[in-house]
């Protein structure tokens, strides 16, 4: 079904994963992890859970390799039969929609607070969603090309901005390492694993890859780079604000940027810069999930994709506006995270075993 031009290189596939993974979560990641773990050791958790997710990712890729050129919405039918596949497909679509809505909501909340105070939410969101729609109507390839441009800009500027805070950094805030044993690290695994949701996009991207045999490579790189970014963020935020100081901050990563001013440089303040580049990341997460949901609908119901893209826009908007306050928004974020662990952590393994038992799909070496 895939047209020739709808093919992705390995780098583009990795860019898809990275851009999807890095989203609104990073703005609250230090708080959620430290609250769960209670010690500064969460930087160990983020590395461990990264490895764990990599394992899940590789299982997922292995599953996809059995069904070349097919997305999850198409091949589950072969494994489980029509009805289960239908239910599963709808759940996955709902999942993508919720993430999409969550990103929109966080973006609207944060810009309303720090960037465009006074601009109505619908005005910010509307522009954002329409541009997103315009992008995804161009297909996977135009998306991939945009992500390739976004990715280096955001990563370099983000790391640069974070390191500018090094004046505030105190190594004592990160010590003692493993002061309360290994337990806090284990407790930190849950929220840190949630930070890695996004690798599931390979369920769809794999179908478009020019060299699907390099799927594992794309997956590993797609997880390693966010791992590095998360690690830097956690170390810098904890080192600068201390675990006590950031537990009470709503957006710790942004507050880190607000905690220093650099005189003599062209710019004195960097939170707006960080927010502006990070909105690009949120935008890419939003568009990927929107696209994935639309694609899911079109393949599940065997209809054209464009109408679904349009129909889903207001649905995403409504879901985004459901949480009544910031706390509800965070709860929604956590909820999708948990769903993703079951859906894409355990799901692929079950499907893979099932497909092996029922001898569905092709073998590859």
Partner 1 sequence: MSRFRRQFTILFTLLLLVFTSGCWSSKEIEDLSVYVGLGLDVAEESKFEKSINAQGGHYPKNNNFTTTVQIVPRIAPKQETQKSTGASEGQAFLNERLTGDSLFQVFRQFALRRDRPLIGHHLKVIVVSHELTKKYSLEQLLDFILRDNDIRPSSLVLVSHGTAFEALSSLEPGEIPAFYLKGVVANSYRSNKILPPVSLAKLDGKMQSGASFLLQNVITAEGEHKFSGAEIYKGETKKWIGSFNQIELEGLSWITGEAQEGAVKSYAPPNGHTVTYEIKSTKSKITPIIQGDNISFHVKIESEGQLMEDWSAPEIPSTDKYIQELEVKFADTIKEQIHQVMGKMQNTYRVEVAGFGEQLRIKYPKVWKKVKENWDETFSQIPVTYDVKLNIKDSGSSTD
Residues in touch with partner 1 (CB under 8 A): 113-114, 116-120, 123, 168, 172-173, 175-176, 179-180, 240-242, 244-249, 255-256, 258-261, 269
Identify the sign of the CA torsion 50, 55, 58, 59: negative
CB of 115 to partner 1, least distance (A): 10
CB of 290 to partner 1, least distance (A): 22
Rounded CA gap, 129 and 123, in Å?
A: 10
Rounded CA gap, 15 and 288, in Å?
A: 11
Query: What is the DSSP code string of 59-96?
Result: HHHHHHHTSTT--HHHHHHHHH-HHHHHHHHHHHHHHH
Query: What is the DSSP code string of 328-360?
Result: HHHHHHHHHHHHHIIIIIIHHHHHHHHHHHTT-
Given the complex with partner 1, which of 91 and 115 has the nearer CB atom? 115
CB of 355 to partner 1, least distance (A): 49
φ and ψ at residue 207, rounded to 5 degrees: -65, -25
Given the complex with partner 1, which of 7 and 272 has the nearer CB atom? 272
Given the complex with partner 1, which of 325 and 365 has the nearer CB atom? 325
CB of 53 to partner 1, least distance (A): 29
Given the complex with partner 1, which of 109 and 200 has the nearer CB atom? 109
CB of 243 to partner 1, least distance (A): 8
φ and ψ at residue 209, rounded to 5 degrees: -70, 140
CB of 88 to partner 1, least distance (A): 42
CB of 259 to partner 1, least distance (A): 4
Given the complex with partner 1, which of 249 and 290 has the nearer CB atom? 249
Given the complex with partner 1, which of 119 and 211 has the nearer CB atom? 119
Given the complex with partner 1, which of 118 and 362 has the nearer CB atom? 118
Given the complex with partner 1, which of 39 and 98 has the nearer CB atom? 39
CB of 5 to partner 1, least distance (A): 24
Query: What is the DSSP code string of 199-238?
Result: GGGHHHHHHHBS-GGGHHHHHHHHHHHHHHHHHHHHHHHH
What are the distances in angstroms from CA 193 to CA 89, 149, 159, 235, 334?
A: 23, 27, 21, 17, 11
SS3 8: strand
CB of 244 to partner 1, least distance (A): 4
Rounded CA gap, 320 and 308, in Å?
A: 18
Identify the sign of the CA torsion 347, 353, 357, 363: positive
Show Cβ contacts of residue 303 under 8 Å, excluding neighbours closer than 6 positions. Answer: 297
Given the complex with partner 1, which of 214 and 247 has the nearer CB atom? 247
Rounded CA gap, 303 and 306, in Å?
A: 9
């Amino acid at each position: 079904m895939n047209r020739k031009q709808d093919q992705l290189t390995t780098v583009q596939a990795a860019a898809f994963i990275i851009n999807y993974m890095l989203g609104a979560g990073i703005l609250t990641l230090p708080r959620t992890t430290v609250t769960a773990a209670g010690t500064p050791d969460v930087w160990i958790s983020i590395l461990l859970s990264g490895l764990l997710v990599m394992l899940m990712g590789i299982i997922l890729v292995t599953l996809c390799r059995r069904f070349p050129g097919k997305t999850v919405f198409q091949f589950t039918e072969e494994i489980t039969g029509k009805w289960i596949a239908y239910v599963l497909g709808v759940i996955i679509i709902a999942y993508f929609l919720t993430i999409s809505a969550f990103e929109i909501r966080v973006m609207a909340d944060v810009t309303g607070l720090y960037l465009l105070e006074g601009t109505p939410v619908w005005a910010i969101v509307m522009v954002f969603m329409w541009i997103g729609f315009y992008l995804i109507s161009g297909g996977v390839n135009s998306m991939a090309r945009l992500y390739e441009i976004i990715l280096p800009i955001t990563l370099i500027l983000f790391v640069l901005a974070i390191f500018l805070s090094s004046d505030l950094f105190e190594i004592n805030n990160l010590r003692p390492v493993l002061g309360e044993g290994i337990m806090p690290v284990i407790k930190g695994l849950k929220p840190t694993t949630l930070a890695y949701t996004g690798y599931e996009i390979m369920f769809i991207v794999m179908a478009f890859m020019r060299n699907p045999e390099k799927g594992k490579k794309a997956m590993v790189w797609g997880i390693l780079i966010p791992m590095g970014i998360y690690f830097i963020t956690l170390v810098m935020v904890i080192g600068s604000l201390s675990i006590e100081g950031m537990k009470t901050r709503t957006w710790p990563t942004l507050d880190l940027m607000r905690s220093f001013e650099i005189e003599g440089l062209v710019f004195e303040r960097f939170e707006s810069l960080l927010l502006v580049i990070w909105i690009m990341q949120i935008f890419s997460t939003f568009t990927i999930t929107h696209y994935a949901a639309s694609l899911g609908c079109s393949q599940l119901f065997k209809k054209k994709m464009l109408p679904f893209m349009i129909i889903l826009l207001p649905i995403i908007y409504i879901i985004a506006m459901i949480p009544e306050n910031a706390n509800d928004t965070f709860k929604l974020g956590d909820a999708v995270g948990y769903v993703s662990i079951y859906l894409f952590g355990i799901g692929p393994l079950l499907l893979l075993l099932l497909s092996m038992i029922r001898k569905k799909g092709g073998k590859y070496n």
